Structure 1
Amino acid sequence: MTEKQSLRLILPLERLPAFSLFLQQGVWLQVQTGCSVADLLTDQFGIAEDYIVERITTLFLDFKPIDDLKTSYVNDGSTLALSSAMPGLVGTTMRRGSHLAAMRGDISCKDQQRIESGIGRIRIKLFNLVMTELGAIFLGHGVCLSSAELDNFLSAQDDGFLAGRGAAFWGDLPLDFTSLIKRVRGADPDAEILLKVEFTG
């Protein structure tokens, strides 16, 4: 990636569903790596421990189900998927601390090597209720994507995306939706964009 730009969107909360596919596919965030999943969620994203215990019942780190959030570590390039309870036998088996966890065999996340802490990037994927309830937190933190990815996202939105209480700022420059599309399409397709989304009630 050759350059770095920033885009800040201010949107009414009812626009959050527009980011659903985006969040399911995964977004890259800059974080302090080398920490446990528990510390990442509570310390860096401010998610209450009670919420994690009660609502985020299924977690995958680098595509392996997690049982112990305090001994599972996020490293640069890690992928972390968060979900509330999934239905069926498979959902029960993958659930954190499930009595059927032994059925997973060797796919569970364990014996993980912790590396020295530092600034890095991880990919966060959100599903079902967790996506609805936490999506705004991660988008507000700021996600990294290419201008081509941003173009694909914006192209899927209707012309009223910024209508009403919506606003867009490319750096410090305010833009309407049409101008925003032109600005994104005029950028290098590989240029890195830091997207932050602020949702208003």
Structure 2
Amino acid sequence: MKVVAFNGSPRVNGNTSQSIKMVLAELEEEGIETEIVQLGGRKVFGCLACGKCGEMKNNRCVRKDDEMNNFIQKIEEADGIIIGSPTYFSNVSTEVKALIDRCGYVSKSNGGALLRGKVGTSVVSVRRAGSTFTYSAINFFFGIAEMVICSSSYWNMTLSRDPGDVQNDDEGIQTFQTLGKNMAKLLKQVR
């Protein structure tokens, strides 16, 4: 089994990345292969709704930008997906939104099998407020894609601003560790 995690923050080693790594550590402890993909800061663009992905029927997008089809391929090959995002004005980063829209459109235009039945979970970092909207945006995507959404003992978020602040959020750390354990268990049950 494999889980691919997308860091939607342009801060490669920021709180979103550190939070994702806490979840991945628990998955690896359970023998699940993991990969983290740096999405934030990449030149990816939103969906044009051109419909070409539905005509091609190959689970790919015709737009040529910074590796979106590689990201979609990684999702296709994974059993579980983590999307991590910082909270920008009560929502996901633009790169995360591009991934959601384009991957979602490609999946729906090709019968939905790209995402259906996979386990998905969100990881959110926030300075103070707005994290539940970010959490919801990611989970709404998983829901409409017919994925199995993994939860934790609290919403999958940390209160942290400056890189490293997550290390001082005891409840956030516990939430991410529990999330990793729950995702490992769920993946084993689903597969």
The bucket for the TM-score relative to the shorter chain is: under 0.3
TM-score w.r.t. the length of structure 2 is 0.26
TM-score w.r.t. the length of structure 1 is 0.25
Q: With CA pairs under 8 Å and 6+ residues apart, which has the higher RCO, 1 or 2? A: 1
Question: If you compute each CA radius of gyration, which structure gives the higher value, 1 or 2?
Answer: 1
